[in-house]
Chains A and B, each alone.
Chain A
């Protein structure tokens, strides 16, 4: 069974807490995790850290996951953060 986690439009420092909890809960399941990134407009550094940490955890445990429909804003901001090479390694479904 897959678990869907939606990234909020504004991933503020406060939202990063909730996102962390949602992703932790998703990692506790066995199915594929779908991180829906279609609505993202703003990515705080705290949100970026949560995302990177999630990716590290999922990869370390070989937990299947996918970044769904990343918004243009998300891609552009990850690029601004200098994280484009990392984004390129993530499984993405457009």
Chain B
């Protein structure tokens, strides 16, 4: 590779970051300008466009230079106040970012870049470039009008509105300990506000400490509320009349009005002021989001934190890190092999050997965790496109939706982050398209016209959970059941559980037009989402509350490389059970085993019944039933809380195992999540507890009751 090639490669790598920064910054312009966020965002976007232009010029990428230059010029106009950011303008800048990405991609692949991308005309029109230098304009109806304020022309006065539109009040309410001690209950305030108009309520619970550190007199919650109403400010303030002297809320409206409280008085209204609105002409105005004066800890539209500070870091090829990960995987296998070889030796005769093996195990684990930490990335990068996706999808569908992102800094393996992008986008589109109701329906249901999509990421039980939830109509299970019977997926008279009905949504081609209108069309493409999540070693859990919303929770491994497992013997085969799934192991007495009609054998443990699965029989290693009272039962719990009792011959021992994807190398196997290589070179399959539970339930239904499971 020549020096020039290396420089070009570095430039393309940098372009990816610059384009991401450009998109992030431009998207921030769509949010209300709280605390000077717009100025910082415009500056960051300008820097990104300028850097791309500079690099592109050095490598002679003409069209790239031109798009970057016009983008930079528009951003400069915003920076200097000659243009005001509007929804349409943000759309153009985002399209400019897309065009830049296309040009970069073409340059990198050595193919001709797109000639005269349509966004050039939009940018030129914005800048008022003379007609003779303007390429053919796009059809007039495809170009939105922009709220342009030019220094050399008089602003166009807005047409008088037919009726005053309702204000959108943003309320930042953080009750303190004094308020709680005085007996104030936020629920009463929230209910009183809800009675005034559609209310969106976002609660920031991130400051809640662990239970042993919880001070019951303290207040840890904070609310950001969005109230749409045309009633007088005094009435909006009323619910806070008593609590305001102790903890005055911040209340601002989208027209600049503010409600203040007299800190020395009894919470009386202090001021309301309505500065003249900014003169903007936008033929299709979108609901203007609002923001409190101070930065809330959980802004409904995610406060833009400014460009990332340059960290002390080096750029390393992912390939090199992957090689390192593979080598660590081999080291884990070698360590397991040595440990197995040493099992036949007397520890007291070879104390140094055993000490060395122990140290090797410890160092291998540390090395593995360190390497995994290198590959760990915040899920933020998978979330980066979502604000734009929500905005554009909602616009296209004539709906109103906003996005709440929680836990963006949660870290997970790079490959998981990359694999998340498509399923997330699909779920978001589905949520807006089929979950969130049209504004008029929401209004009729007493909901705010703006639907809320919440994407939450958190670590749980050694896995990462990504949840996409909406506050839409929820899933109509009766419609799913009816459709499934029509399509022959369920027998008439079947009595499936909610989970089994949700499962049908992932059946390829299950959804129909009729179903879309009735159950929000959740089946469309969901089989693809699940396939993607399965490929990452994860699963999808669904929960829905009628009229309140639906949540899809993707539970995924933190890493696709190594895990802690328990080796089990079932027949002649060795299986690996993830340690995180094991509750306990026991040898049951005969009277602890019962048979439930249609459910097969169940194990009674301290009054709880858990379905039993004879592992060797389940996978066809043995046809004779195993006597559980002579074998061993491992009680397991899946991520969804469902339990299963696995009947095995013995427990071999605990060890780290290297995960080898079955999906990639073979195909999906129900009840099996992956494979591994044992210390003696044999391949062992890694069990998927939730999958085993479903598999066993289906077999019992299909084969009828079998006293032996």
Contacts and interface: CB of A to CB of B under 8 A. Distances in A.
Interface of A: 1-2, 13, 16-17, 20, 23-24, 27, 31-32, 43-46, 48-50, 52-54, 56-57, 59-60, 62, 64, 66, 75, 77, 79-86, 88-89, 91-94
Given A17-B216, A59-B458, A82-B203, A91 B180 contact: no
Given A23-B211, A48-B221, A81 B216 contact: no
Interface stretch (B98-106, B381-389, B545-553): B545-553
B185 interface: yes
Nearest to A81: B203
Interface stretch (B3-11, B30-38, B391-399, B461-469): B461-469
Interface stretch (B134-142, B187-195, B659-667): B187-195
Given A45-B221, A52-B208, A20 B580 contact: no
14 contacts: A23-B211, A44-B185, A50-B211, A56-B208, A56-B210, A62-B462, A64-B641, A66-B641, A81-B187, A82-B201, A85-B404, A85-B551, A88-B467, A88-B469
B437 to A, nearest CB: 16
Given A49-B214, A52-B205, 18 more contacts: A1-B606, A2-B607, A20-B211, A20-B216, A24-B212, A45-B219, A49-B216, A50-B214, A54-B211, A56-B208, A57-B211, A62-B580, A80-B190, A81-B221, A88-B469, A88-B549, A89-B456, A93-B641
Given A49-B220, A85-B454, A75 B545 contact: yes
A41 B120 CA distance: 60
Contacts of A94: 498
Contacts of A82: 190, 201-203, 223, 225
Interface of B: 175, 180, 185-187, 190-191, 194, 201-203, 205, 208-212, 214, 216, 219-221, 223, 225, 404, 406, 454, 456, 458-462, 465, 467, 469, 471, 498, 543, 545, 548-549, 551, 553, 580, 583, 606-608, 637, 640-641
Given A62-B462, A82-B223, A24 B191 contact: no
B583 A32 contact: yes
A89 B180 contact: no
Contact of B203 (A20, A57, A83, A88): A83
B191 A60 contact: no
B543 A45 contact: no
Given A46-B216, A89-B467, A91-B640, A60 B205 contact: no
Residue among A27, A52, A85 with max Cβ neighbours from chain B (10 Å): A85
Decide if the interface of chain A is mainly helix, strand, loop or mixed. Answer: helix
Contact of A49 (B221, B608, B641): B221
A60 B221 CA distance: 19
B592 to A, nearest CB: 14
Contact of B186 (A45, A54, A91): A45
Contacts of B216: 13, 16-17, 20, 46, 49-50
B266 to A, nearest CB: 22
Contacts of B471: 84
A45 B545 CA distance: 23
Contacts of B456: 85, 89
A32 B638 CA distance: 13
A75 B551 CA distance: 14
> Taking each of B180, B219, B608, B641, which has the highest tally of chain A beta carbons within 10 Å of its own beta carbon?
B641
B467 A85 contact: yes
Given A82-B202, A85-B469, A59 B549 contact: no
Nearest to A46: B216
A20 B637 contact: no
Contacts of B219: 45, 49
A43 B465 CA distance: 27
Contact of A89 (B210, B220, B551): B551
A88 B205 contact: no
Contacts of A59: 458-461
- Enumerate the 3 nearest inter-chain pairs by beta-carbon distance, A residue then B residue, closest first: A82-B201, A82-B203, A88-B551
A89 B471 CA distance: 14
B318 to A, nearest CB: 30
Contacts of A85: 404, 406, 454, 456, 467, 469, 551
B22 to A, nearest CB: 30
Contacts of B220: 49, 52
B187 to A, nearest CB: 6
Contacts of A54: 211
A11 B589 CA distance: 41
A94 B641 CA distance: 12
Nearest to A93: B641
Given A45-B180, A89-B551, A81 B190 contact: yes
A86 B551 CA distance: 10
Contacts of A53: 208-211, 214
Nearest to A94: B498
Contacts of B406: 85
A57 to B, nearest CB: 4
Contacts of A89: 456, 458, 465, 467, 551, 553
Contacts of B640: 91
A20 B461 CA distance: 22
Contacts of B214: 20, 49-50, 53
Contacts of A32: 583, 637
Given A57-B211, A59-B458, A62-B461, A84 B221 contact: no
B543 A88 contact: yes
Contact of B187 (A27, A45, A92): A45
Given A77-B187, A83-B203, A92-B543, A62 B211 contact: no
Nearest to B544: A88
A94 B456 CA distance: 23
B180 A13 contact: yes
Contacts of B543: 88, 92
B465 A45 contact: no
Contacts of B186: 45, 81
Contacts of B637: 32, 64
Contacts of A27: 211
